[in-house]
């Protein structure tokens, strides 16, 4: 008679739990390669052509990840989940940078008084070009290309 070891029991239990968890994901479509459908400004699903590309509710402009009205003139908005920050240094001029501080890798905390500010160690970056306005960071934030179509801001 073979007695199972503690390691064998734990491995078997872990595999069972993992299988159950993945089965739950499949039931909700979370294992699908098709991205979830985006919503328009009213919360209704935006049209999706099956390629992962979405359009605005009127079908004319990219849905984007932000609206121009969300970005204050002389300031900006951090999208921590995407690790980007979008700024509007002058009316109608939009810039986008990585939100990861070049000093220690923290996600920046706020945008105020013309700078993107990291709360971890106090680095500040200019909203117009991402260059260092105050250390300890020595390198600028990397620029990210965006596209503004109508009032939608999206990655290019």
Give every CB contact of residue 14 below 8 A, 6+ residues apart in sequence.
none
**Assigned domain for 3 exists:** no
**Assigned domain for 99 exists:** yes
Please answer whether residues 96 and 154 qualify as being in contact, where contact means their C-beta atoms are separated by less than 8 angstroms: no
**Assigned domain for 123 exists:** yes
**Assigned domain for 51 exists:** no
The CATH number of the domain holding residue 79 is 2.102.10.10
**Assigned domain for 75 exists:** yes
**Assigned domain for 97 exists:** yes
Q: How many CA atoms lie within 13 A of 85 on its CB side?
A: 31
> What percent of the chain is modeled with pLDDT above 90?
54
pLDDT in tens, the chain (156 residues): 555 555 554 455 444 443 443 343 333 333 333 333 333 333 433 333 332 333 344 444 446 889 999 999 999 999 999 999 999 999 999 999 999 999 998 999 999 999 999 999 999 999 999 999 998 999 999 999 999 999 999 988
| Tokens representing residue 79 in the block | 């999208």
Rounded to two decimals, the pTM is 0.60
**Assigned domain for 38 exists:** no
pLDDT at 64: 80
**Assigned domain for 90 exists:** yes
Return the SS3 of 23: helix
Q: How far is 70 from 44, CA to CA, in rounded Å?
A: 19
Please answer whether residues 120 and 103 qualify as being in contact, where contact means their C-beta atoms are separated by less than 8 angstroms: yes
Q: How many domains, the chain?
A: 1
Q: Which domain holds residue 141?
A: 66-155
Please answer whether residues 97 and 71 qualify as being in contact, where contact means their C-beta atoms are separated by less than 8 angstroms: no
Return the SS3 of 121: coil
């Amino acid at each position: 008679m073979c007695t199972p070891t503690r390691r064998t029991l734990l491995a078997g239990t872990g595999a069972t739990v993992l299988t159950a968890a993945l089965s739950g994901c499949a039931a909700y479509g979370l294992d699908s390669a098709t991205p979830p459908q985006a919503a328009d400004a009213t919360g209704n699903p935006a049209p999706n052509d099956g390629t992962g590309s979405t359009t605005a509710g009127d079908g004319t402009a990219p849905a984007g990840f932000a609206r121009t009205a969300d970005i204050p003139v002389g300031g900006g908005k951090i999208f921590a989940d995407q690790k980007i920050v979008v700024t509007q240094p002058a009316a109608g001029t939009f810039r986008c940078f990585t939100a990861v501080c070049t000093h220690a890798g923290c996600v920046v905390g706020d945008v105020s008084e013309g700078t993107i500010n990291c709360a971890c160690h106090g680095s500040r970056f200019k909203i117009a070009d991402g260059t260092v306005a105050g250390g300890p960071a020595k390198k600028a934030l990397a620029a990210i290309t965006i596209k503004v179509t109508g009032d939608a801001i999206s990655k290019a």
